[in-house]
Amino acid sequence: MIAALFLAFAQADPNALARRAYDAATAGNHEAAIADLREAARLAPRNALYRSALGGVHERLGKHGEAAAEFAEAARLDPSNAGFRARLENAMLEHGAELARARRYRAGLTLALDAAKRFPASAPVHQMLGLFETRNQRNVSAAAAYRRALELNPSSGAASVGLGIALSGAGLDKEARAAFEAGIARFQKDPAHRQAYGVFLAKSAEPGSAAAARAAEMLESALAIDPNLAEASYQLGNLALAQEDAVSAAAHFDAAGRNGLDDSRLHWAKARALRRLGQTAAAEKHLELFRARKRAEETASGQP
């Protein structure tokens, strides 16, 4: 009887539920902790601590989207609590990274726009916004986001590279060139700037031209700093293939594959190089891989 009364009391008392949730979470029983905290929040809907605690449990489970929702509610209930806002910002950034890895770019853009409204002075948030704007082909807006990120944190090499890529995607070649060159001057040992600038230069370079040579030089300088840059190797392969050097092209494509590139572009290019080398059977295998990767990419691009 006493135990039953205690249980009934615990189920009606939000503080008792929160204490039980803490014990459950400490013991690794996160689902029980979530259930108790939800009930505590239902019983005491104005208590921001229960919402924050819920966010913390979701965070432990790697459920950053759910964590962000709970921290947002905690921050709404207690707007002056800097800790709630800090945890919300971190959860939104982590969730954005998850969405980017899953290629859920539209959902990522929705998240990033919300985050930028909540945290207008956060460089990482504006950098995240720039990424998702770029992935959604909103390159002018992406450039504005990256510029804001750089204003807030001038030492961000990633924002500097992103700015150049966004300007290039917007067709603002003069501005893109200036952004890349300024970035390389500021971040001289950063291979990402050199790789991105090499990609930009290669995009419009005629085979055998001075621009193509400059693109190759930039890509090779990126690889000299970091030999594991798959995109640089892939782009060098394309430049070699454009000059009818299928042997060098195949070698560059192999390097790109070894360093993790496995998309439809690589398998299409590798098939072309192998055909020119007379390796028809190997070329056909890469064409099959190209078709499979292309289907997967089209499926992923349709995700929200």
The domains located in the chain, with CATH, are: 10-99 (1.25.40.10), 189-304 (1.25.40.10)
User: Could you give the C-alpha distances from 2 to 5, 7, 15, 16, 105, in angstroms and in order?
Assistant: 5, 9, 19, 16, 55
Q: Which residues of the chain have pLDDT under 50?
A: 1-9
| pLDDT, tens digit, 9 for 90 and up, residues 157-167 | 999 999 999 99
Map tokens 């590279």 to a residue.
161
| pLDDT, tens digit, 9 for 90 and up, residues 170-190 | 999 999 999 999 999 999 999
CB atoms within 10 A of CB 219: 28
pLDDT reported for residue 300: 82
Alpha-carbon distance 192 to 222, whole Å?
7
Residue-wise DSSP of 135-151: HTT-HHHHHHHHHHHHH
CB atoms within 10 A of CB 110: 14
Counting Cα atoms < 13 Å in the Cβ hemisphere of 242 gives 18
pLDDT reported for residue 11: 60
pTM, rounded to two decimals: 0.89
